[in-house]
């Protein structure tokens, strides 16, 4: 499947085709070694395309697709659906997603960038990672220190609105920490605060990526469990009215309901 065919598929529904798993899926515990080694190689490859601190939108999208393909080759089955909702938005959007592992940071550009240019809101520690930091910096991120909540809020609102006014969507992970569950109380309303008054809608993305576990020595390099399917589903755009509470609540409800649905399958 070409990248163009993959992009067309995720507008509606994509599921990993039969026979995608490769020899790596038969390596047992060494599967994770193969996966992380290959993922690092793809990072090196795309980092070479960062010019003057800018990574071409389509190069970044292709990189995200290649990382997803690594997971499929390792034996993981992937389900991606309804990104037509994002494509249908006239102009930029505030995209909110739950956060489970570092994997979604790597692959979401492959699902979002074919339809919308966007900026991540990222913690500053990620920018210090060798190679990865260079790649993420090329995507024009909004960087927060996570040391002062008031300053972080100011940064996101100021820089986020500037991105939206320039026609670029903004992706937020409103949970303070990565979690398999979504606690509505802990899922902050920053997305609604940013969208309010800008005319941009909220577009929720529900995801499930716990196939990549937390590492003991390095948090982002851990064991993988290919028996756990990957899920990404884009929800319909939510118009932000008044104080934005209704749109925020609807985005959280969408994500929670999808997680319940996937766990019951």
* Per-residue pLDDT tens listing for the chain (265 residues): 788 999 999 999 999 999 888 888 888 888 999 999 999 999 999 999 999 999 999 999 999 999 999 999 999 999 999 999 999 999 999 999 999 988 999 999 999 999 999 999 998 888 888 888 899 999 999 999 876 788 888 999 999 999 999 999 999 999 878 888 898 888 999 999 999 989 899 999 999 999 998 877 777 788 999 999 999 999 999 999 998 999 999 999 999 999 999 999 8
Helix (H) or strand (E) holding 38: helix 30-47
pTM: 0.94
Strands (E), 107-160: 118-123, 142-144
pLDDT value of position 147: 67
Q: Can you read off the two tokens belonging to residue 106?
A: 């790597």
Pair 40, 106: CB distance under 8 Å: no
pLDDT value of position 104: 93
Place of tokens 């920018």: 127
User: Angle at Cα 11 formed by Cα 58 and Cα 252, nearest 5°?
Assistant: 100
Q: CA of 252: how far to CAs of 133, 149, 177, 196, in Å? A: 29, 21, 16, 17
pLDDT value of position 123: 87
pLDDT value of position 76: 95
How many angstroms separate the CA atoms of 7 and 59, rounded?
14
Q: Can you read off the two tokens belonging to residue 43?
A: 């990072």
pLDDT value of position 218: 75
Which domains does the chain possess? 3-264 (3.40.1130)
C-alpha closest to that of 100 among 265, 187, 212, 15: 212
Q: Can you read off the two tokens belonging to residue 39?
A: 């993922």
């Amino acid at each position: 499947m070409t990248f163009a065919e993959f992009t067309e598929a995720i507008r509606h529904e994509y599921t990993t085709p039969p026979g995608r798993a490769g020899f790596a899926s038969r390596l047992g515990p060494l599967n994770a070694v193969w996966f992380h080694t290959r993922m690092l190689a793809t990072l090196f490859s795309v980092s070479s395309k960062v010019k003057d601190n800018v990574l071409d939108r389509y190069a970044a999208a292709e990189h995200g697709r290649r990382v997803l393909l690594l997971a499929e080759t390792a034996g993981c089955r992937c389900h991606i659906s309804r990104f037509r909702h994002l494509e249908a938005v006239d102009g930029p959007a505030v995209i909110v997603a739950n956060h489970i592992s570092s994997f979604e940071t790597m692959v979401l550009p492959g699902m979002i960038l074919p339809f919308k240019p966007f900026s991540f809101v990222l913690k500053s520690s990620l920018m210090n990672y060798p190679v990865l930091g260079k790649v993420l910096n090329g995507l024009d991120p909004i960087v927060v220190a996570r040391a002062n909540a008031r300053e972080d809020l100011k940064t996101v609102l100021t820089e986020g609105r500037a991105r939206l006014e320039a026609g670029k969507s903004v992706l937020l992970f409103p949970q303070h920490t990565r979690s398999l569950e979504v606690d509505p109380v802990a899922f902050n309303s920053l997305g609604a605060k940013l969208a309010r008054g800008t005319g941009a809608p909220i577009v929720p993305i529900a995801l499930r990526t716990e196939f990549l576990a937390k590492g003991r020595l390095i948090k982002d390099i851990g064991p993988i469990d290919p028996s756990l399917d990957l899920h990404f589903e884009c929800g319909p755009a939510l118009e932000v009215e008044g104080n934005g509470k209704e749109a925020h609540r609807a985005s959280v409800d969408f994500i929670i309901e999808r997680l319940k649905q996937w766990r019951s399958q």
